[in-house]
Amino acid sequence: MIRYTEKGIGLHRAVEAAGHWIRQQNGEWIVSDEHAVQAIVDAFTVADHAEAVIDEIEAHAKALLDRRAAGKSVVQIAKEPIKAVEADAITKGGSAPTLEVEATARGITVEELAAKVRAKIDVESVIVGVLGKHKDALRAMRSHAEVQSYDWRTGWPDV
């Protein structure tokens, strides 16, 4: 009988990646090859566990960022760096020709539009920052229990 130790879903993926399987059937863990799977279970480190969780977090962050870009044309996306630079320039008394055209068309001031642009960038920066915070925390952990109980679903902005 296999000695199963809880090491997260990443362990199960590692077993399958090695061409084996592990399954809890009617409450009992069964495996394709006891010795081979046991070796994988035993060799799955805390760092492996943490990286598997990080993969999930990165997928979550990517989904949030992709949602921010959903429905936009390539023209809009291509203009975003320009708008970001101009939004910053306005705070320093510089010019913002692209923002001025857009603000005029929209019927708001260029300062108001610049604030919206910065707010949007801030949200995206928060997503990337929260991702980095969780990655740092997980990579500093030294036990499977720590990794397993770590709640990475906190701190994300509403998108």
Partner 1 sequence: MAQAIGVGSYVRYGIFSQDGEPIEYGIGLLSDSTTLQRTRPSWTFVSGTVDDTAPSAVNLASGTKLVECVATAQSFLPTLPTARESSSNRLLLCAHTIYSSGNFRTMVANRVFYMPWYLASGREIASYGCIVTNLAASTKIRIGSYSVTPAGEIGNLFAEISADIDGGSTGFKTQSLSGGTKFHPPGQYVMACLSNGTPQLAANNANVNTRTGARMWFGTNAAIAVPQGFCNAREDVSSGWTSMPATPGTLTFESEANVFPHILVMVPA
Q: How far is the CB of 23 from partner 1 (least distance, A)?
A: 5
Touching partner 1, residues 25-44 (CB under 8 A):
25-27, 29-30, 32
Q: Which of 16, 34, 42, 111 binds partner 1 (CB under 8 A)?
A: 16
* Interaction of residue 154 with partner 1, rule CB under 8 A: no
Q: Which of 43, 47, 59, 77 binds partner 1 (CB under 8 A)?
A: 59
Closest CA to 132 of 69, 54, 64, 56: 54
Q: From the CB of residue 77, how many other CB atoms can be counted at a distance below 10 Å?
A: 10
- Residue bearing tokens 């799955």: 44
Q: From the CB of residue 122, how many other CB atoms can be counted at a distance below 10 Å?
A: 12
* Interaction of residue 17 with partner 1, rule CB under 8 A: yes
Closest CA to 30 of 7, 46, 12: 12
Would you tell me which residues interact with partner 1 (CB under 8 A)? 4, 6, 8-9, 11-13, 16-17, 21-27, 29-30, 32, 56, 59-60, 63, 148
